[in-house]
Chain A
Amino acid sequence: MGLSSKTSEKIAFSLLTLATLTVASFVLVILVYIILNGYGAISIEFLTEMPRRMMTQGGIYPAIVGTMYLIIGSMVAALPIGVIAAIYLNEYAGENRTTWLVEMAINNLAGTPSVVFGLFGLALFVKYFGFGPSILSASLTLALLILPVIIRSTKEALLTVPNEYRESSLALGVSKWQTIRYVVLPAAIPGIVTGSILSIGRVAGETAPILFTGAAYFLPRLPDSIYSQFMALPYHLFVLATAGTNIAKTRPIQYGTALVLLLIVLGLNLIAVLIRRHYRNKLKI
């Protein structure tokens, strides 16, 4: 056709560059917009005070505390199970039907919509186990959501541990479990930490799974046990932005909450990336 191959290459490369710039500008616009509108609302009082006057004034302290509880609860439940499952899959499992089944289950858990986890949490933890809408029910629901994340990142971390480590240890007469416990696992810790941090970010940001498992619109005091309901940052933002009669009045608080949430999640992701970078080349023999 009319175009020389050089010209069509130029056109194609310009379009590809343009597409990438468009994607990058989405990231930039969203970040800048939330930061510019939110930073005015953030102060020490905003972070440490209870909401006042139908949440049109005051801070978001109980929502921050609630989110912290969810992070602790879900990590306590998911981290040991996830790490152990990953150890089994990477160090013991052979290529057979059972392994396939476990891998398939993990993949599907990872792809299941978060609102479906919310339904399941409601049916199993809130109703069947009778935990009620509570920190416990919500934490366990979120634990299921992050389990695949932890398993995958731990497996990846174990994979990067060179086989020489295992072979040298086994050759010295150390048993398989002790080799894993004292040689392989310590070498994989940075990867496991990275995965855990990413999971914490996930827990802090998820709303749909806690809608029916214990998140409260407003509570005048902090939760006093794992059976209490709680406020959480993402749910707080959702409620202020969509429900009630004071949507316009609470706009600054909404921007502030969105920024706090964004900073927590992105801060965690940044730490995870830095840890990964730092340790990436350490294991090479």
Chain B
Amino acid sequence: MFNRNYKEKMIESVLFSVSALTVVILFLICLFLFRNSLFLFNDFSLLDFLTGRFWYPTSVNRQFGLLPLFFGSLIVTVGAILFSVPLGIASAIYISEIAHPKVADFLKPFIEILAGIPSVVFGFFGLVVLVPFVQKTFNLPTGQTALTGSIMLGIMALPTIITISEDAISSVPSTIKQGSLALGATRWQTIYKVIIPAALSGISAAVMLGVGRAIGETMTLMMITGNTAIIPSFPGGFLESVRTMTATIALEMGEVPQGSDHFYALFAVGSVLFIITFLINLIADSIKKKYRFKVD
């Protein structure tokens, strides 16, 4: 009997150690990103990095200013969200409240296909279809603009927003819904006055995760936004070429000598990106916890 208990305890601690590995990995990511970033700040001030308006990593008077890259990511993400949030929430409402269950059963996996398409394929599609389209429509010298990136990114964020919003809407207890209908409200009044408010925190979590997905996207944007590191104007910047934080890392890491300031600067950009997505996830997580309904 003692033997058996001992063995069970052993197994449990082995299992625990393996799952603790996830925490170790997260810790190591922080450690390696931040440590490599710190080497930059031996030669270049942190303040100049965070508030610098110019990213000239290879010129004689080199500048590692984050702002053009940060605002590049920001404008593309804002555009993507403006486009995908209304569309995504509307689809989620349609699928969970209006569509015939059989139609919904088809639509859900069909839209999920978007989540499976590799980002490089989205980038390729954007490059051969959307870029020429944007160029012609707006009569621009190049179709590789923030707008192009926003549209493609919006499409990529749709499955995240739809799936999680749909979850939130479906988890609203049907008793609440029936109560509203019984009082004589129409289905639409029930949806926007009862169901949507009740599912609001879940929907916000969906939007946050969509933002996280958009801000971290690399390949698609690198292929279709033109990659010019200039602080974009707003809203005119949508028709100009921009360079995001992610694209900067992916484009330049292959070319830089390892151990140079430029190399460490890319790690610093990566750290900023990591901190931003970390915070977004944390917020989404705490919102999500709130929306769990307690039905007696």
Q: Which residues of A contact B (CB under 8 A)?
A: 5-6, 8-9, 12-13, 15-17, 19-20, 22-24, 26-27, 30-31, 33-34, 81, 84-85, 87-89, 92-93, 98, 101-102, 104-120, 122-124, 127-128, 144, 147-148, 151, 175-177, 201, 204-208, 211-212, 234-235, 237-238, 241-242, 254, 258, 261-262, 265-266, 268-269, 273
How many residue pairs, one in A and one in B, have C-beta atoms under 8 Å apart? 245
| Majority-rule SS of B interface residues | helix
- Interface size, B (range): 35 or more
Q: Are B249 and A119 in contact (CB under 8 A)?
A: yes
User: A144 touching B25 by the CB < 8 A rule?
Assistant: yes
Rounded to whole Å, the gap between the CB of A25 and the closest CB of chain B is 11
Question: Which residues of A are found within 8 Å of B293, using beta-carbon distances?
Answer: none
| CB pair A112 B22 closer than 8 Å | no
Whether B228 sits at the interface, judged by CB under 8 Å, is no
Chain B proximity of A89: nearest CB distance (Å): 6
Segment among B47-55, B64-72, B175-183, B269-277 that sits at the interface with chain A: B269-277
Report the separation of the CA atoms of residues A83 and B8 in the bound assembly, to the nearest whole angstrom: 18
A19-B86 contact, Cβ under 8 Å, with A113-B277, A208-B250: yes
- Please tell me if B203 contacts chain A, counting CB pairs below 8 Å: no
Closest 10 CB pairs of A and B: A113-B216, A205-B118, A19-B90, A85-B19, A9-B188, A111-B281, A88-B15, A123-B32, A208-B218, A16-B94
CB pair B18–A120 under 8 Å, yes or no, is no
Q: Known interface pairs A205-B120, A211-B250. Does A33 touch B21 (Cβ–Cβ under 8 Å)? A: no
In the bound complex, residues from chain B placing their C-beta under 8 Å from that of A5 are 186, 188-189
Q: A92-B12, A206-B118, A262-B117 are in contact. Are A115 and B188 (CB under 8 A)?
A: no
Indicate which residue in A23, A113, A148 contacts B111 across the interface (CB closer than 8 Å). A23
Q: Which of B16, B28, B33, B111 contacts A27 (CB 8 A)?
A: B111
Q: Which residue of A lies closest to B116 (CB)?
A: A269
User: Do residues A20 and B107 form an inter-chain contact, with CB atoms below 8 A?
Assistant: yes
Those of B1-42 within 8 Å (CB) of chain A = 4, 7-8, 11-12, 15-16, 18-23, 25-26, 28-29, 32-33, 36
Bound form: Cα–Cα A91–B19 in Å: 12
A235 to B218, CA, bound (A): 13
Contact (Cβ within 8 A) B267 A123: yes
A116 contact from B98, B191, B274, Cβ within 8 A? B274
The interface residues of chain A lying within 8 Å CB-to-CB of B18 are 81, 84-85, 88
Q: B187 contacts the other chain (Cβ, under 8 Å)?
A: yes
Knowing A106-B22, A108-B278, A128-B32, say if A205 contacts B121 (CB, 8 Å): yes
Q: Are B95 and A265 in contact (CB under 8 A)?
A: no
- Can you show 10 pairs from A to B with CB atoms below 8 A apart? A19-B87, A27-B110, A34-B125, A104-B282, A108-B277, A115-B249, A116-B216, A118-B249, A119-B253, A119-B266
A113 touches B107 (CB 8 A): no
Q: Evaluate contact between B91 and A20: CB separation under 8 angstroms.
A: yes
The answer for the CA separation of A226 and B108 in the assembled complex, in Å, is 40
Are B188's CB and A12's CB within 8 A? Answer: yes
B79 proximal to A (CB < 8 A): no
Contacting pair B121 A262 (CB below 8 A): yes
Report the minimum CB–CB distance from A20 to chain B (whole Å). Answer: 4
Q: Cβ of A269: which chain B residues have Cβ within 8 Å of it?
A: 112-113, 116
Give the nearest-CB partner of A106 in chain B: B22
Would you call B232 an interface residue if the criterion is a C-beta within 8 Å of the partner chain's C-beta atoms? no
Q: How far is the CB of A12 from chain B (nearest CB, A)?
A: 5
Q: CA A170 – CA B208 in complex, angstroms?
A: 42
> Do residues A20 and B90 form an inter-chain contact, with CB atoms below 8 A?
yes
Contacts of A17 in B (CB 8 A): 94, 98
A128 to B32, CA, bound (A): 10
Q: Which one of B16, B123, B125, B192 lies within 8 Å of A238 (CB-CB)? A: B123
A252 to B87, CA, bound (A): 33
